[in-house]
Amino acid sequence: MTAPGAFIIFGATGDLARRMLFPSLYFLDQDGHLPVGLRIVGAARHALSDNDFRAQVEDWVRERAGEHFSNEAWAAFSERLSYSNGDATEPDTFHRLKAKLEGTDEKIFYLSTSPALYTPIVRGLAAADLSDAPNRIIVEKPIGKSRATCEAINTVIAERFTEDRIFRIDHYLGKETVQNLIALRFGNALFEPLWNRHAIDHVQITIAETIGVEGRFSYYDEYGATRDMVQNHMLQLLCLIAMEPPTNLRPESVRGEKVKVLRSLRPVRTSQLQSQTVRGQYTRGVTDGKTVPGYVEEEGGKPSDTETFVALCAYIDNWRWAGVPFYLRTGKRMPERASEIVIQFRDVPHSIFGANPLMANRLTIRLQPEEEIALLIMNKTPTLGHDYELKPLSLDLSLDDAFTDTAGGIPRRRIAYERLLLEAINNNSTLFVRRDEAEAAWLWIDRIVDGWARTGMKPAPYPAGSWGPAGAFALTERNGHSWYE
């Protein structure tokens, strides 16, 4: 395999490119991971010269890199950069791009635009003969808004790019602790005998954010929390927790196991919407010590039925997980930024410690803000008396240094995109979502969102800075459980 010669970003002046993609490529280059001679071409509508574009990217990279910025590394990186402008719906755009790419062999196209442009871009690439092997394509979420629309986009892409050349990105799969979850499960014999309905009582997955919609109202209002976060990030996390051990780490092995989980998700019936799903929308309140407007006030007060919070109780119908609730919740304007997975083990079958309360073991895998893995176990308090005094102790299973990278000097946390961009450059699709996975995830989500639309189930209000509407607590309490905060 030859190394790719060009990496082209459509939507190069957009928010994702600015905050994540260019800084990630810069860091990869600074740490010596980019192939020699790889050119990075930004493509967008604005008319910009190569130099103007470089100056813009420099501002973005400086802002993100802070103390990690190096003039020397920047000088080398900026040599790679150039810009090609044009409207994605016009054939000329692609011919100009092709001329710009003259002399480069393998190309990787990154679609970081509005999903409405995916089809025209893929067609434009094909018409300019840019879609043949070995060229590859990386596609950002959301791919569609439903199974049908996802299928339609996938079909257009598949007419021009074979599945092994399509990289559907989910940045959660690039996070260090998510990777570590695989190591924890399949690099240790300890957990596997317990990793099932006999030992695990329930699982909680929370992705709480303090931010609101951050200037993305028009996108977000169309999608809402369920399509924006659950269909992709949360179901991917669920898959990694619930999947069977894959034969190896090759793309088809891992993705084959994940899709089995998605297909085993029990569909939520209309009669279960009230008991298994909760929608919420934030109203004015206080987060991060500041009074913030309610969701609808962010865009001039126009009423909206979009949920900014969702909590779901999911079941996986297979031998390993039958009857084990998987609680998922995510929301904007929560009291804190916290993303974590909690594996709650069952109580001991019989306590020999009299009145001493016992807490069941709990494995917490924290993705944000810190990355850590901790196991709660019961421990004896060191006393002389013959009565046992027990207390829960949290065993830290993570090494502080494990989550930072010292390459390039000062230690820093890697951006999740760095790993994923590098994997795509190296042509390894294990950490990317296969077509059938994306479509199976939509199928499960469709039933829920269609059910809400059909039954008129509106989001319940919750004040910004709270953990969502009361219904979210009732969701777990119904089964005798409660959320860990």
Active-site amino acid positions: 233
CB 368 to ligand BG6: min, Å: 6
**418 is an interface residue for ligand BG6 by CB under 6 A:** no
CB 16 to ligand BG6: min, Å: 9
Nearer to ligand BG6, 168 or 171 (CB): 171
**437 is an interface residue for ligand BG6 by CB under 6 A:** no
Q: How many Å apart are CA 230 and CA 441, to the nearest integer?
A: 9
- 476-480, long-range: CB < 8 A, 24+ apart: 476/204, 476/313, 476/325, 476/327, 478/275, 479/202, 479/313, 479/325
CB 165 to ligand BG6: min, Å: 23
Tally of CA atoms within 13 A in the half-sphere of 21 that contains its CB: 27
Nearer to ligand BG6, 146 or 368 (CB): 368
What's the one-letter identity of residue 334?
M
User: At a CB cut-off of 8 Å and minimum separation 6, what does 395 contact?
Assistant: 374, 375, 376, 377
The DSSP bridge pattern shows strands 460-463 and 277-283 to be parallel
Total count of residues recorded for the chain:
485
Nearer to ligand BG6, 270 or 368 (CB): 368
Q: How many Å apart are CA 293 and CA 281, to the nearest integer?
A: 12
Strand positions, DSSP E, 3-151: 6-10, 39-44, 81-85, 107-111, 136-139
**209 is an interface residue for ligand BG6 by CB under 6 A:** yes
φ, ψ for residue 468, nearest 5 deg: 95, 175
Site for ligand BG6 in 306-325 (CB under 6 A): none
Nearer to ligand BG6, 368 or 428 (CB): 368
x-or-dash string of contact with ligand BG6, 35-54, rule CB under 6 A = --------------------
CB 129 to ligand BG6: min, Å: 33
Nearer to ligand BG6, 391 or 413 (CB): 413
- What is each CA distance from 171 to 91, 118, 216, 225, in whole angstroms? 31, 19, 18, 16
Site for ligand BG6 in 79-118 (CB under 6 A): none
CB 406 to ligand BG6: min, Å: 22
Please work out the total of residues on this chain that contact ligand BG6, with binding judged by CB under 6 A: 5
Nearer to ligand BG6, 15 or 129 (CB): 15
Nearer to ligand BG6, 201 or 228 (CB): 228
* CA 97-102-107 angle, 5° bins: 70
Nearer to ligand BG6, 178 or 324 (CB): 178
Residue nearest to ligand BG6 (CB): 228
Nearer to ligand BG6, 272 or 368 (CB): 368
Q: How many Å apart are CA 351 and CA 462, to the nearest integer?
A: 40
Tell me if 115 sits within 8 A of 144, measured CB to CB. yes
Both tokens of 66, joined, read 């802070």
3-state secondary structure of 213: coil
Site for ligand BG6 in 122-181 (CB under 6 A): 171
CB 86 to ligand BG6: min, Å: 26
- What is each CA distance from 328 to 13, 265, 276, in whole angstroms? 34, 13, 10
CB 228 to ligand BG6: min, Å: 5
CB 3 to ligand BG6: min, Å: 28
Tell me if 122 sits within 8 A of 157, measured CB to CB. yes
Both tokens of 137, joined, read 């394509």
x-or-dash string of contact with ligand BG6, 368-397, rule CB under 6 A = x-----------------------------
Q: How many Å apart are CA 265 and CA 442, to the nearest integer?
A: 12
User: Which of 15, 445, 451 shows the shortest CA–CA distance to 232?
Assistant: 445
What's the one-letter identity of residue 73?
A
Tell me if 136 sits within 8 A of 425, measured CB to CB. no
CB 447 to ligand BG6: min, Å: 22
**228 is an interface residue for ligand BG6 by CB under 6 A:** yes
Both tokens of 465, joined, read 């800075």
Site for ligand BG6 in 331-360 (CB under 6 A): 339
Interface residues with ligand BG6 (CB under 6 A) are 171, 209, 228, 339, 368
